[in-house]
Structure 1
Amino acid sequence: MSADAERLVAAALGLANSGSRVEDRYWDAQLAQRIERLLDTGHPQSIHDALDRLNQTDSEAYGALIEAVETAAESLVLEVDGQRWDVLLVAAPVVAWTRFRIPSGPIAADTVVSLAAHWQAHVLARDVRFRMAPVLYSVDQLPRDFGELRRLTRRLGQAAIVPGGAAPRLDLKSLPETADMLADGRFLIAAVAVPQDGPLFRWQLPESGEHASRVACLEQWITQARPSIETLLPGCGFECLLPDAFHINLREADRRVRPYAIKAAVHFLTHALDLEPEAIRATIAPFGEDRPDEYRIGLSLGEEEDVAQGVVWPLLGAESEADDPSPLDRIRETLREAGVTDVRTWTDLTEPEYCEDCGVPLYPNPAGEVVHAEMPEDAEPEGTHFH
């Protein structure tokens, strides 16, 4: 590894083993300085190498390093006319489901104005400056590289700080195509800026005046923003999540979409094939290399061994079968809620397999095989993949 990667590993180990908040601040500063330099100069490989090393050797230090990298990507300090500003990239996720297609892409200017006004009025502290990207992003369209994400944070932050300033230059024409999912996340992205060390959100304010709890902010956001979001998602059901920092909301959207993916798959099959949920048989299997990284659910019809639709339930963070309820129990409960009562489970861990032609995951069937999901030939036009 490079010298930068070695120093990142050492600082992350130091932070993971720190015995005080005073020592924490020292290691935090060491990590932040090096990570920000590597991202700003376009040399992130040392970061990836350090993460790979710690992922194999020390999970606690890996967690400390990935948190530092995410912080550097989604936040920074900008100085404008002698004033230092804290800038944070925030996301307002929407978990959506449909029988058709979930839209994404550019948002009309009047809708951006309306959503930005509600965001500021019901979630942000007074005098926080704000600039929203005029895009409803799919997961596929979000920046995947930490350096690219930091550049987006900087561009939106600079536009937020300067009142009436020029809109940030975003290349909306080159957004990648979105994979067709019948249950998936969509994201409104913005930057908030506040004079350094000031409060960003209403729940940070003192318990008087304009203070509002997270629950109250979410209720107001749903009430006020939902009509505008409905125009962006025709033909879709959806759930709004509380706007918050980018990475934590990315993970929360991944977590919340999982049960909707199962329910959307069952709903699609019942309508496309004109059958009741009780006619669907589910096969659940753990997939991973050394431990379960995800569960895959194959949905079959009656006594057929073919899989008509498949769903992936990824395990996030420290989730494991030791949880109460366990991921497997939550999958079974979600299937029961969707009306599927014939549920079978593989006990052995299976290595993840994908279709060599199209790259989609392969799913377990009742016969103990891993197969491609295929709708019956006499069904309505073939559906799209599920999360």
Structure 2
Amino acid sequence: MPRSRSTSSSRLNRDAEKLVSLSLSLNGSGSRVEDRYWEGELGTLLEKLMHGGQDATIEAALEVLYQRNAGAYEILVEQAETLSESLTLQKDGVDHDVLLVVAPVVAWTRFSIPYGPIRIGLLDALKAQLHGHILAADARMAVAPELYSVDQMPRSFSATRLWLSRLGSQALGLTLPRMPATDDTEVANLLADTRYVVAAVAVPRGAPVFRWQENPGKPEHTRESCLAQWEAQAAPLFADLLPGCGFECLLPDAYYVNNREADRRVRPLSLRASVAWLEATLGIAPDQLRAVIAACGETEIEEYRIGFTQRQSNDVIYGSTWPIFGRDDDDPEMPVMDVIADQLRELGVTDLRKLQGLLPLEFCDDCGAPYFPNPLGEMVHAEPPEDADAGPAHFH
């Protein structure tokens, strides 16, 4: 789930100016003692803003820092994410740390990837496997009874914190906070995408949350061994939830870090799904495809778009996107365009065109679908042949 930067006015209100100042101060701190002071001040202000649903103020401060100071920007992002995915709740006079956890599944298919309610028996089985292989012994948990698409996840810090507060209260048997009414969100029909099981985990303050924290150094309690056990036991459950799909289970972990990891993992799978669908639906073998790769954005690279054509044609028949997450996603020693090209070669697509420069992030005014590059360097609508079976026109 890449962060969308605000395009709001550059004029900051008082709280936004204070967020900028505190973030710059924390970035310039020279000791852990001073760090704790600035973190406390920043946390108090962020909690007030999230409680009031004032996400625009946070986003405005982030936009200024993105342009002015990369270190302070990363600090404010980290603090805002931390305070929206974790909080403290009290049960019977005992403080509890509560963390929002997601168990992502990266899936691909020739059809559609299911989402929605999880039936009671499967939900209970997922809870048992989380307790058995992922969570610490004293952890209490509430699991949302839905398999979520990223389109259904909260889009703001305050909404994420409210979701956590409700699930955390449920885990501890507390009165549930009221949630605002939400409209049904349209879920994009993609051939490679992520689905999420979402939970709040509560432990007495300072206690371990995860199994790998309880006995560090023991081979059976490492992240790797926990993942292996989770994959073995949860895979049959997800196979029931995701019929007709291939999938990979990721290690359940904190909300934001796992969203980013899932986004990264789905990118090569979206290319695989694109090539496989084109071969199965249009009968075009990978070695008969051409892939045109272009960097796209307004003033800097925000994502790469890949347009697929037949080798002897300039008409784009399908497309795929490769989003960029953060400043360090494009490694100078291994440019993203080369990574994409290597992935396509492994899939059998050998006719590759890498366009120079930065192309605009253009979308269709009628249907909202992204445009993709053709070999002439133009951004165009992907148009499958008229006799092709119906299917999504872009993959992730």
- The equivalent of 1:299 in structure 2 is 308
Segments of 5+ residues of structure 1 without an aligned counterpart are none
User: For residues 175 and 346 of structure 2, what CA distance do their matches in structure 1 show?
Assistant: 49
Relative to structure 1, the CA distance from residue 226 to residue 320 in structure 2 (aligned partners, 3 Å threshold; closer, same or farther) is closer
SS in 1 for 2:395: coil
User: For residues 128 and 210 of structure 1, what CA distance do their matches in structure 2 show?
Assistant: 21
Relative to structure 1, the CA distance from residue 221 to residue 376 in structure 2 (aligned partners, 3 Å threshold; closer, same or farther) is same
Q: Comparing 125-134 with 349-358, which one deviates more in the overlay? A: 349-358
User: For residues 327 and 210 of structure 1, what CA distance do their matches in structure 2 show?
Assistant: 35
TM-score normalised by L of structure 1? 0.95
- Counterparts in 2 of 1:196-275, with a 5 A limit? 196-207=205-216, 212-275=221-284
Q: Comparing 9-18 with 132-141, which one deviates more in the overlay? A: 9-18
Q: Comparing 48-57 with 334-343, which one deviates more in the overlay? A: 48-57
Give 1:385 shift: 2.6
Report if aligned partners of 1:159, 1:168 keep a CA contact under 8 Å in 2: no
Report if aligned partners of 1:182, 1:384 keep a CA contact under 8 Å in 2: no
Q: Comparing 20-29 with 92-101, which one deviates more in the overlay? A: 20-29
Report if aligned partners of 1:86, 1:197 keep a CA contact under 8 Å in 2: yes
Letter in 1 for 2:161: R
Give 1:335 shift: 0.2
Report if aligned partners of 2:86, 2:98 keep a CA contact under 8 Å in 1: yes
Relative to structure 1, the CA distance from residue 216 to residue 147 in structure 2 (aligned partners, 3 Å threshold; closer, same or farther) is same
- The equivalent of 2:50 in structure 1 is 39
- The equivalent of 1:154 in structure 2 is 165
Can you list the C-alpha shifts for 1:337-369, whole angstroms capped at 9, x where unaligned? Answer: 111000011011112111111122111111221
Give 1:278 shift: 0.4
User: For residues 246 and 294 of structure 2, what CA distance do their matches in structure 1 show?
Assistant: 28
- Counterparts in 2 of 1:72-111, with a 5 A limit? 72-111=83-122
Give 1:58 shift: 1.3
User: For residues 288 and 197 of structure 1, what CA distance do their matches in structure 2 show?
Assistant: 43
User: For residues 383 and 162 of structure 2, what CA distance do their matches in structure 1 show?
Assistant: 41
Report if aligned partners of 2:306, 2:321 keep a CA contact under 8 Å in 1: yes
Relative to structure 1, the CA distance from residue 229 to residue 382 in structure 2 (aligned partners, 3 Å threshold; closer, same or farther) is closer
Segments of 5+ residues of structure 2 without an aligned counterpart are 1-11
- Counterparts in 2 of 1:16-31, with a 5 A limit? 16-31=27-42
| Residue of 112, 115, 123 corresponding to 1:112 | 123
- The equivalent of 2:322 in structure 1 is 313
TM-score normalised by L of structure 2? 0.93
Relative to structure 1, the CA distance from residue 384 to residue 352 in structure 2 (aligned partners, 3 Å threshold; closer, same or farther) is closer
Give 1:169 shift: 7.8
Can you list the C-alpha shifts for 1:72-125, whole angstroms capped at 9, x where unaligned? Answer: 111100112110000000000111001100011111011110001101110111
SS in 1 for 2:190: coil
Report if aligned partners of 2:104, 2:194 keep a CA contact under 8 Å in 1: yes
Give 1:305 shift: 0.8
Cα-Cα RMSD? 1.9
- The equivalent of 1:7 in structure 2 is 18
Letter in 2 for 1:324: E
Q: Give % identity.
A: 48
Relative to structure 1, the CA distance from residue 133 to residue 169 in structure 2 (aligned partners, 3 Å threshold; closer, same or farther) is farther
Give 1:319 shift: 3.3
SS in 1 for 2:228: helix
User: For residues 178 and 46 of structure 2, what CA distance do their matches in structure 1 show?
Assistant: 25
SS in 2 for 1:348: strand
Letter in 2 for 1:109: I
SS in 1 for 2:326: coil
Letter in 2 for 1:120: H
Matched, 1:287 2:331: no
Matched, 1:372 2:381: yes
- The equivalent of 2:70 in structure 1 is 59
Report if aligned partners of 1:204, 1:211 keep a CA contact under 8 Å in 2: no
Report if aligned partners of 2:166, 2:176 keep a CA contact under 8 Å in 1: no
Report if aligned partners of 1:319, 1:327 keep a CA contact under 8 Å in 2: no
SS in 2 for 1:157: helix
Letter in 2 for 1:139: V
Matched, 1:335 2:344: yes
User: For residues 369 and 43 of structure 1, what CA distance do their matches in structure 2 show?
Assistant: 40
- The equivalent of 2:390 in structure 1 is 381
